Structures are given as C-alpha cells and as structure tokens.
Structure 1
C-alpha cells in the first residue's frame, strides 16, 4: 500500500500539488495561475517535497489527475508527473476526476455526477466511470436521484432541478490532493489495475490545421 504519495492536479482552472503521507497532507500548494502553469507546477512540487522533508526517490507513488478537463493543464501536469517518476524511479498512476471526487465523498447514498468545465457552452460529465461532453442546454436525464460535484456542479444542478430532477449539490468544487491519494489507495486495496498516466480527452482539440495545410519542411 503506497504511503507517501505526491498528488498533482491541473485538470481544472484551480491546480494543486500535495504531498500526502498515510492519508495526511504534509504540504500543499494550490492556486489558479493565469500563465506559466507548467513552471508553477514544477516549483510547487519542489516546495512540497522540501516542506515535507521527502526526496523524490523516497516517494511510494505519484498520482496525477488525467481528466476530463483542460487540454493545457492535463498536458502540463501529466508530463511533469511522468518526468519526475522516470527520474526518481517512482511509479506514476492516473486518477480520473470522477475517482478523485468519489474518494472525497465516500458516504454518498446516491450516484455521483462530476461536472467540469469544457469549452464555452459545454460541460464534461463523468458518470459511472465514463466521461462525456454535453452542450449545457442538452444535459442527459438522470435515471433517479443524483449528487453533483465539480466546478460546474452548480450550473448543472440548477438546470436539472429546473426539470424537476432530484439533485443533491455537494460542496466539492475542486478535488484535493488527499482525495487523489485516497483514490489511488482505493484501487490498490480493491486489487484493481492501476491506470496509466495518460490524458483522458473527451472532445477533440479546438486547434485546426490551416486550410492550406502545414508548411513544407525547410530544405
């Protein structure tokens, strides 16, 4: 069972790095940097390890959120986690946002939907381990009572409640590093295979090739 876990999350606007030991956060850095996310994450990792008195090679595991979420944030956080794991010879495991929020809310008596920011006019929903993108005006119909978490939970709850659905809005908007670590430990305890640290992309990237195609390679 991994005891010392470095948890990294940049799937949403609010990013974080947390050093967790035996389920307790020893050091936390979090915020919503407007620019320089990749550089800031690396600084936070160094600060958390220094504050916790742990060298990278003494970590038991690195847990990183793999989505759904921001293309830029996922690329930055997963690349950092993989690079650190390779350099320190520490296993790196992917945790979906649904898993992380589920670990943060273990006592729910109803299915959990995690609602996250997508591109304008759309949201990502992770339900029963499956992530899908929806237009805000075309949300799916729940089969029964549900709970909502994630940074778009309030907006989604309002739309579903207006239809008469039984919705419980939790206060979980951003997943914590301790929840990421708990989700990783849950997988180990249940004997489930660990997920690779690969981005869980839902929608295709907004960037498109130029109409005339790419420039030819220089001669």
Structure 2
C-alpha cells in the first residue's frame, strides 16, 4: 500500500512516498522516495512540488496512493497549517483517508532509553515531549528551555530545538533533528492496513498564533 507522508511542523519541509506492507506477519514500512528541504519560511511554496517530485521519483501516479499521513505538530502556526491543509486537500481530491500523527513522535519513535524530544518553537521556547523506549510519556507542551531542563529527566535529547538549546538543556544531542517520514508512517501503519476511516486533522498549536484580528476602530471624533 502506497502512502504519502507530509510534515511541515519544523523548518524541514517533508514529502515522502512510503510503502506499507499489508501483511501483518511482515509489517514492513519502506521509504520509496523522499524530498526534504530545510527552509522555515517556504512551507507553502515547497510542499506541493515536493509531493509531485516524490511521486515522480517513485514512478507512481496520485491515484496509486492508498492514504495520506500528516504530522500534526506541535509547530509554528503558519508552517504547520500549510502541511495539514495540503494533506487534507490531497486526501479529499483522491477520496482516500488521511491520518494524523504527532510530529514529535516522528522523532522519538523507536529510540531507546529516556529521550527528550524538542523542536524550535521560536520566541526562545521549545515544543517538547519525553519518550521512554520510543513511547511518549510526557507532553507535548511548549516552554522555555530552562524550565524544561528543570522539570525533565532524560539521558539524551533529539530535535532541532534540542540542538539549538543544548547548552541550556544540558543533554547530549542525538539524531534526528527533524521528524522522520518513516517513523510517522510506522505510527499510522496499523490504521493504513486496517483501512480505517480517515480523520479530521487537528493541529497541535499549543499556543495562539502571532497574528490577531484587528480590534474595533476607535472613532476619530469625540
């Protein structure tokens, strides 16, 4: 079963064509083609062409897809929204199910030991979660790195936020820096194999967007 995986929760704009084996006795997930561009200001411009490129690299047509898997964040509002809207639109156009996965899980999944996953949330904050042998046991949340360092006990950290604030977190940084398309697909694989109904994607913004609607104009005259 061919699946398109998209994630735009971090500066790594990701589109990957993934094969999910439908044999439950051999449940392999294989990346067929992948396009990743690290650019935190061009999610909307990059993602759709990268989906087309991944399909072309894999030698398949959009109609060959069985499902779409989307990273649901947490992530900055504009970038995260671009990926989720694109995933929902692709699923709707092809009439195939769309499944959401926490993007931090795409970093922590399958990693041994106690791991802090942190991505850059801007405003000198990080989105974070804690994993124990690949299973999330705390988070996701958004906080100052110093607050996370005081609260969380882990043996290592992963993610671009962990790398950026390594001196504050005080943990050795291990890969990956960004969500893995294969990990996101593995986390959704049971739903893909079961042909479960598609989901309404719910973004994990964790805080209000920077942009706000303008308030009511004050009269110029007394």
The answer, yes or no, to whether TM exceeds 0.5 is yes
Aligned mate of 1:48, from 54, 58, 61: 54
Deviations 1:62-116 (A, max 9, x none): 111110112111111111111110111111111112221123xx14122x32211
- Map 1:30-179; keep pairs closer than 5 Å: 30-33=36-39, 36-103=42-109, 106-110=110-114, 112-127=115-130, 128=137, 130-142=139-151, 144-161=153-170, 167-179=171-183
Structure 2, unaligned stretches of length 5 or more?
21-28, 131-136
- Residue 10 of structure 1 is aligned with which of 8, 11, 22? 8
Q: CA RMSD in A?
A: 2.8
Report the 3-state secondary structure (helix = DSSP H, G, I; strand = E; otherwise coil) of the residue aligned with 1:118: strand
SS in 2 for 1:97: coil
| Preserved contact between residue 78 and residue 197 of structure 1 (Cα < 8 Å) | yes
Cα deviation per residue 1:160-196 (whole Å; 9 max; x = unaligned)? 32xxxxx442121012221221221266689x99864
Where in structure 2 are the equivalents of 1:176-195 lying within 5 Å? 176-185=180-189
Unpaired segments of 5 or more residues in structure 1? 162-166, 215-219
Q: Aligned residue for 2:25?
A: none
Corresponding pairs, count: 203
SS of the residue corresponding to residue 68 of structure 1 reads coil
Confirm or deny: 8 A CA contact 1:7 1:19 kept in the other structure: yes
Question: What SS is found at the alignment partner of 2:104?
Answer: helix
- Determine which structure has the larger strand proportion and give its number: 2
For residues 80 and 25 of structure 1, the distance between their equivalents in structure 2, rounded to whole angstroms, comes to 20
Q: CA deviation at 1:206?
A: 1.3
Looking at structure 2, the residues matched to 185 and 31 of structure 1 have their Cα atoms a distance apart, in angstroms, of: 24
Matched, 1:197 2:198: no
The Cα of 1:34 is off from its aligned counterpart by 6.1
